[in-house]
Structure 1
Amino acid sequence: MADAEDTAPLIVPGLERLAQLDTIKLKQLTSSYKNNNFTVLDGEDVLINLVEEDHEFDIFSFGRRRGFHSNIVDNTGKKVYTLRRPGTSIKDKIQIRQGDDLVATARCKMTLLKPVYRIFDAQGNLVLRLKGSTCDYDNFVLQTKLRKTIGGIKRKSFTTTAQVFARLDDYTISFPADLELNMKVAVIVGCVLMDFRLHEFRAAN
């Protein structure tokens, strides 16, 4: 008789699978002032989870805008990235780290009409842009720094009253399959920053 270990299904670490994919789903699991958790899915399979650990306040914060610390944990339970959003409304960003090393930053760019988010590498070089249409947080295009469209983000519309009040969002994110892994993670984090700002804007108005 084969040992249980020999017959157990092989679990491929989520980041290894993410590195091969061109489309994933980002699903918000919980939403509150102190706790926002998301999961990244390939179909029904969990790849990674974004778990908020702590939050912080800033004297310049307004409305419901706030800083936070989160961990990204893969499907084997291993912490693979840490995230930090400083509690400031002036230069809104999320820093992405592996251990002590900064690997990317997602930043909100101040614009008059169209929401824009930018992805920078560890050296602070602009790599990617996420651009929405006027006052629209449902659809974003993913662009290179030269503004060539290579993917996008689409927010699933609410279909029930319960979903409207729960404010738990689902997104479909597409990017080139050969995009560098840290940049794929940064695009996902950019979507999380976008989601935070969307709900903070609604709470303040």
Structure 2
Amino acid sequence: MASQEKVDKDFQTILPGTPHPPDQDENVESSAPCEPPTPETKPPPPTVPPGLEHLSKIQQVIIHQQVELLGVFLGTEKSNKYEIKDRFGQRIYFAKEENVYLNKNFCGPVRPFTIRICNNRGQNVITVIRPLRCISCCFPCYLQELEVQAPPGSTAGFIVQKWDPLLPKFTLQNENKEDVLKIVGPYATFSCLGDVDFEVKTLNENVTIGMISKYWSGFVNDVFTNADNFGIEFPVDLDVKMKAALIGTCFLIDLMYFEQSVDRF
């Protein structure tokens, strides 16, 4: 009887349309739960330093130097102050130079300084530090170098002056001292009737992606005060740390090429 059942079972396995009974291994595989596919890992978005959220969304800022006329005429102006606005004229930051009075009057444009940039709530969000260095191209080994911190205490980038016999040149570096952008100024930084433009370029200097412009403010203002107005243009998707570094570059350019009247007293 048992042999007959075995024959019937074997016979069924060869009939057309008869399902093939799964073996033991197949049952184990079919009972295992299906694992979901592993999603592709994407790099996290770059973090924006606190206080620079608004700066990360814009592509132009205007920097207006504030001057107290009484201090200009008496020669007692102590430190530079700046308002940093968006293209609609809304103030987003306020900057003030921290400096020793004797440094400003005796060292003039080469003086060391610390500029603290605060938001409208008075919180320090960017710090620009300039050590005492040479301003002449005759000393190519000790030219200007700025450190920009955002937030204060955390390096965001550096601005390094490059030696060139004819043109003002600077290199923007990230926090790891890696070159990111270059800035090339004109042969003559003095203009009577127009703006002075410093071009922000790629490292090969073939493409201009932005501009630092010193706006011509008129004969009366240029002669009797040292108040300067600048505009900075950059791609909206540029790393916000490099945007902060460009603001620091603007302060350096102001002192090196345009602050003359008061500092020579």
Q: TM-score, normalised on structure 2?
A: 0.64
1:36 is the counterpart of 2:95: no
| Displacement after TM superposition at 1:73 (Å) | 0.4
1:48 is the counterpart of 2:103: no
Stretches of structure 1 lacking an aligned partner (at least 5 in a row): 1-12
**Aligned position for 2:139:** none
The structure where strand makes up a greater share of residues is 1
- Which residue identity is paired with 1:144? T
**Aligned position for 1:84:** 129
**Aligned position for 1:8:** none
Q: Using CA pairs under 8 Å that are at least 6 residues apart, name the structure with larger relative contact order, 1 or 2.
A: 1
**Aligned position for 2:42:** none
Give the 3 Å change call, closer, same or farther, for CA 57–181 of structure 1 in structure 2: farther
Give the 3 Å change call, closer, same or farther, for CA 38–63 of structure 1 in structure 2: closer
- Of residues 44, 55, 73, the one that matches 1:18 is 55
**Aligned position for 1:126:** 179
* Number of residue pairs aligned between Structure 1 and Structure 2: 190
- Of residues 107, 117, 123, the one that matches 1:72 is 117
Distance in 2 between residues matched to 1:63 and 1:110, nearest whole Å: 21
Distance in 2 between residues matched to 1:56 and 1:93, nearest whole Å: 22
Contact 2:109–2:255 under 8 Å retained in 1 = no
- Which residue identity is paired with 2:212? I
**What is the aligned-residue identity percentage?**
26
Distance in 2 between residues matched to 1:15 and 1:55, nearest whole Å: 28
| Displacement after TM superposition at 1:181 (Å) | 0.7
Q: Is the partner of 2:57 in helix, strand or coil?
A: coil
- Which residue identity is paired with 2:92? L
Q: Considering only CA atoms, is the larger Rg found in Structure 1 or Structure 2?
A: 2
Give the 3 Å change call, closer, same or farther, for CA 118–55 of structure 1 in structure 2: farther
1:167 is the counterpart of 2:226: yes
- Which residue identity is paired with 1:30? V
| Displacement after TM superposition at 1:64 (Å) | 4.2
**Aligned position for 1:193:** 252
1:139 is the counterpart of 2:197: yes
- Which residue identity is paired with 1:77? G
**Aligned position for 1:154:** 213
| Displacement after TM superposition at 1:200 (Å) | 5.5
Distance in 1 between residues matched to 2:260 and 2:144, nearest whole Å: 13
- Which residue identity is paired with 1:142? V
Question: Cα RMSD (Å) of the superposition?
Answer: 2.5
| Displacement after TM superposition at 1:54 (Å) | 2.6
Stretches of structure 2 lacking an aligned partner (at least 5 in a row): 1-49, 135-141, 191-195
Q: TM-score, normalised on structure 1?
A: 0.82
